[in-house]
Amino acid sequence: MRRTLQAAAESFPIAGAFTISRGAKTTAEVVTCTISTSGMIGRGECVPYARYGESVPGVLSAIEDMRGMIEDGIGREDLARQMPAGAARNALDCALWDLEAKLSGIPTWQVISRDAPQKLVTAYTLSLGEPEAMQRQAAEHAWRPLLKVKVGTQDDAARIRAVRAGAPQSAIILDANEGWTPDNLAHHFALCAEARIALVEQPLPAGNDAALRDHARPIPVCADESVHRTQDIAKLADRYDAINIKLDKAGGLTEALALREAAREHGLRIMVGCMVGTSLGMAPAVLLAQGADFVDLDGPLLLARDREPGLHYKGSDVYPPEAALWG
């Protein structure tokens, strides 16, 4: 039976502001896609990211370009051949997964795993700011077992020490968002070791990270902007210890699952992350993150308003999605 495709832009307010080294924002701008047939509706959400040349109008246009193929019944594997990885394909791919689950009555988790999904401990993200403000943020959330901290300036020494002082017992991930340089790498790595940092994410710019190959890494280093597709893994395995898989980068759950397996084959640790979006965007990532070494799926916790129904969070625990939400 023929399908119907719809896509729309939505805006969700962030609680306060979310700041990284590239700037701050107060709303999460998402694109929601629905694919319907036989009385069933599949949904997917994506977050267009300017760092990758994406915008809300551009993503809506890319989805519209696929209307004929989607409504004629294209599958997920063919979709991956017809569209580049990115946010637009993610929304379509996840909507197709959701639709398949509803039509078949088989939950997505049963298709991708032998084991029922369990609750996960997610990181909670602290925005970039002045050291004193970041220490206050860390102290406020020191009860959480895992914090992710945005850094990425020319000298983050005071910030690293301030966050560790504020949350002395929490495991900490530092996300430099490509903000460090080969010249200050040793300085920052030494500070990370001193502060017992668990993981450093994307310290150098994508495409300019070769220095990591021959550089002593006293703490594990994770690729984010440097890795999008399975083909990226082989060339990164000699300079990173882990990869951050995000559905919006990979272009959906289908490619993300393949990316996860490729990373494991190369001995890399797995982190599953997210953009700042709603529970609809996080839901498939919760299934992807089962068994991951690090989980960063706190997007809805950063919002002033989430979807209803949304994912269930209890403290830093995030529970698998109910069928009413996705999958």
What sign results for the dihedral spanned by CA atoms 133, 136, 138, 141?
Answer: negative
Q: At 230, is the secondary structure helix, strand, or coil?
A: helix
Helix axes 253-265, 279-288, angle to 10 degrees: 30
Strand order in the sheet with 171-175: 124-126, 146-150, 171-175, 199-201, 221-223, 242-245, 269-272, 294-295
DSSP state of 86: S
40-46/120-121 β-pairing? unpaired
Our measurement of the distance from residue 146's CA atom to the centroid of its chain's CA atoms, rounded to an integer in Å, reads: 16
Q: How far apart are CA 152 and CA 204, in angstroms?
A: 9
Q: How far apart are CA 79 and CA 63, in angstroms?
A: 11
Our measurement of the distance from residue 235's CA atom to the centroid of its chain's CA atoms, rounded to an integer in Å, reads: 21
- Rounded alpha-carbon distances, angstroms, from residue 230 to 18, 218, 254, 258, 304: 30, 26, 11, 7, 35
Residues catalogued as catalytic: 150, 246
Question: Per the structure block, which two tokens stand in for 262?
Answer: 């490729």
Question: Per the structure block, which two tokens stand in for 299?
Answer: 């997007």
Look up tokens 């979310």; give the residue.
18
Q: Where do runs of H (alpha helix) occur along the chain? A: 56-65, 67-72, 76-82, 87-104, 108-112, 131-140, 157-166, 185-194, 233-236, 247-250, 253-265, 279-288
